[in-house]
Structure formats: structure tokens, C-alpha cells
Amino acid sequence: MFRKLLTLGFALLLALGAEGATAGEWVTVKRVNDGDTVQLADGRLVRYIGVNAPEIQHERNTAEPFGFEARARNIELVGARRIRLEFDLERFDDYGRALAYVFLPDGSMVNEKLLQSGTAYCLYRMPNVKYEARLLEAQREAMQDRRGMWREWREKEGRYMGNRNSRRFHAASCPEAKHISSRNRILFSKRWEAFWAGSAPSKDCLAEFSIPAE
């Protein structure tokens, strides 16, 4: 009896958490920082869940390919607009930014639109995976149609080691790749294959996003 009550209580907590995550809140964008981050009128920073846009130029870092295009696309979508934030299980990242799926008044998802335009790529991170399949489908659509960053992608075969668990991939020569357990290890001959599978480059040995050209 006690075990049954415990199970029912756990299920209720999950249901309440899911309901709160789905409800979200309406806010106004004050500033678009880059392709996947905005500042709200109340001062909060919001980092989009499930996507990663190439970096723009910062104090010590040069811009990555498509970094400014990604910010321009984000400005086009949400600049000074009302948006709805929908949350997942984890509400904040290590920098204190709110983590959210961002929706426009017409119901479309900004995270998804960035992927569809080829100005961002999927970034899987547990436990925020509610729209994982939907976002990967959007990325594959852009890759298949050669949109945005995928347009000029020309790549020779190489060796890349992916981790089935973390969905990150490394250059096979990277020391971190050797620490991946055999059951989680997956070999890719091209970065394209890794992205298609929903993996993102690991910053351990692929620190900067680049577009290969043969």
C-alpha cells in the first residue's frame, strides 16, 4: 500500500511539473544578444533550449561563420516583440540565464525556426529534451535543403568519435574521445553525419564552429 501511494505521489509531482513547464509566461524582448540569447525588458537573460548558434565577435574571440547571420535572424524573429517562454525541467543554466523554448504570438517556435533557416544547430542537453525530436527534424530539413550554414558544406572524410549518451562528437585524435565507453562510442566519417544524428561538436577539441570546404 505504501509503495502504491509513493508511486501515485511521484506521478502527481511529475504531472504538476509538466503543467507548470508548459504554461510558460509572456514577456517582451529588450535586446537580442546573439543567435540564441535575448535580454528581456525586465533584465533577465534567456538562453534558447535545444539549439546553439555560432558565436558573434566578443572581446577576445572572433566571430564564427554564420554568427552574425544567426543574430540577424533572431532579431528578425523576436526583436522588441512579445514572446511566450515555455520551460522544461531545468530552469536555469550555469550562468544564471533562464532556459526556454520561445514561441511567437502565432504559435510558432523560434528555436525551431532558427534550425529551419540553418542559422543554428541542435544542442542536446539532458534533462531538457521535451522537443528533441521536433528540433532534430527541423535541422535535418535545413541540411537536406542546404539552407544557411549547410549551403556551402563540402567535407572530406575523416574520423570523429561520438558519444551516444551526451550527443557530443570529438575529433578521433582528441584525448577526450578515448574516455568514451565502448557501449556509448559511435564512429562518424564526417561531421555532417554527426550533425545529422543530432550530435553537436564538443568544446574539448572542436572549440570553434567551422564550415568545411574541400
Distance CA 196, CA 102 (A): 23
In a domain, 207, yes or no: no
For residue 2, is pLDDT > 60?
no
Provide the pLDDT for residue 23. 62
Provide the pLDDT for residue 58. 67
In a domain, 214, yes or no: no
Does residue 176 sit in the same domain as residue 141? no
Q: Which candidate in 47, 84, 125, 191 is catalytic?
A: 47
For residue 204, is pLDDT > 90?
no
Does residue 194 sit in the same domain as residue 115? no
The three three-digit cell numbers of residue 44, written as one number: 533577465
Distance CA 156, CA 212 (A): 8
Does residue 102 sit in the same domain as residue 59? yes
Find where cell 509566461 sits: 25
Provide the pLDDT for residue 11. 46
Residues 148 and 66 sit within 8 Å (Cβ to Cβ): yes
Does residue 188 sit in the same domain as residue 100? no
For residue 89, is pLDDT > 90?
yes
Distance CA 131, CA 115 (A): 13
Does residue 117 sit in the same domain as residue 54? yes
Does residue 10 sit in the same domain as residue 114? yes
Average pLDDT over residues 183-202: 96
Catalytic: 97? yes
182 or 62, which is more confident: 182
CATH number for the domain spanning 46: value is 2.40.50.90
For residue 6, is pLDDT > 70?
no
Provide the pLDDT for residue 59. 61
The model's confidence at residue 114, banded by pLDDT at 50, 70 and 90, is very high
In a domain, 211, yes or no: no
Q: Residue ranges of the alpha helices (H) in the chain? A: 2-23, 67-78, 110-116, 132-144, 191-196
Q: Cis bond leading into 105, ω under 30°?
A: no
For residue 14, is pLDDT > 60?
no
Taking the C-alpha atoms of 152, 157, 158 and 162 in order, what is their torsion angle to the nearest 10 degrees? 80
Distances (CA, A) of 114 to 3, 9, 121, 208: 45, 39, 8, 19
Q: Which structural domain range is residue 168 located in?
A: 156-201
Among 81, 146, 79, 138, which Cα is nearest to 113's?
138
Residues 186 and 196 sit within 8 Å (Cβ to Cβ): no
Does residue 124 sit in the same domain as residue 178? no
Catalytic: 159? no
Does residue 90 sit in the same domain as residue 181? no
The model's confidence at residue 12, banded by pLDDT at 50, 70 and 90, is very low
Provide the pLDDT for residue 62. 79
- Number of domains within the chain: 2
Does residue 92 sit in the same domain as residue 131? yes
Reported as a single tens digit per residue, the pLDDT across 52-76 is 999 997 666 678 889 999 999 999 9
Distance CA 109, CA 66 (A): 20
Find where cell 550533425 sits: 195
Q: Which candidate in 71, 73, 84, 97 is catalytic?
A: 97
163: which strand partners?
Answer: 168, 185
Catalytic: 191? no
Does residue 49 sit in the same domain as residue 111? yes
Arithmetic mean of pLDDT over the chain: 89
Residues 199 and 143 sit within 8 Å (Cβ to Cβ): no
Find where cell 553525419 sits: 193
Distance CA 147, CA 121 (A): 12
Does residue 104 sit in the same domain as residue 162? no
The model's confidence at residue 24, banded by pLDDT at 50, 70 and 90, is confident
Does residue 143 sit in the same domain as residue 86? yes
For residue 7, is pLDDT > 60?
no
The model's confidence at residue 176, banded by pLDDT at 50, 70 and 90, is confident
Entry pTM = 0.86
Percentage of residues in the chain with pLDDT exceeding 90? 76
For residue 18, is pLDDT > 50?
no
What values do phi and psi take at 159, rounded to 5? -135, 120
Average pLDDT over residues 168-192: 93
